Amino acid sequence: MSFITDLFSGGASKLVDSVGNTLDKVITTKAEKMQLDNEMAKAEMDYQEDMQKLSIEERQLMYADTASARQREIAIAQNPNATKLSKNITYYLAIAGTVLCFAMFYILIFTKQLDNDDGKKQIVMYILGVLSALLTQVYGYYFGSSAGSAAKSQTIDQQLKASADNK
């Protein structure tokens, strides 16, 4: 138990110092120290590269998910057997969410009924927060996301091309 206590009460720095001192005793020449430094730098660069690859793969999965959802929507819209409701449900939900959000804004701003009742006001504020998030997602879906997202997409494409060229 004292090892764990020592580790969490400053023992970690002692442990790192002792490992460093041990390495200093084992590595005696400047060439060996430089080689160790180079290997440590290479390991750090490899780690950073692996993390970037994982980030790129994660974004590719997100983009593939979005593309498959849009392909599904296209398939339903082009299906002659699909009902009018199934073809237009996303539009109806988007319109309903937008109308509800603006109705809640109107209630919050222009009505005096909520001024005296903190409980109702908190409920309305919560619902308004949920509807605002919904509205943001609806706008992002139908009108695309921000220019920053487009810049990120371009950066990811460049990194993918660069990593493909390095292989």
Q: Is 101 exposed, middle or buried (0-12, 13-18, 19+ CB in 10 A)?
A: buried
CA distance 101 to 118: 20
Most confident region among 2-6, 16-20, 101-105, 108-112 by mean pLDDT: 101-105
> Is the pLDDT score of 150 beyond 70?
no
pLDDT, position 9: 53
> Is the pLDDT score of 48 beyond 60?
yes
Pick 96 or 13 by higher pLDDT: 96
Q: pLDDT digits over 60-104, tens only?
A: 888 888 788 788 888 888 889 988 888 888 888 889 888 988 888
Reported pTM = 0.46
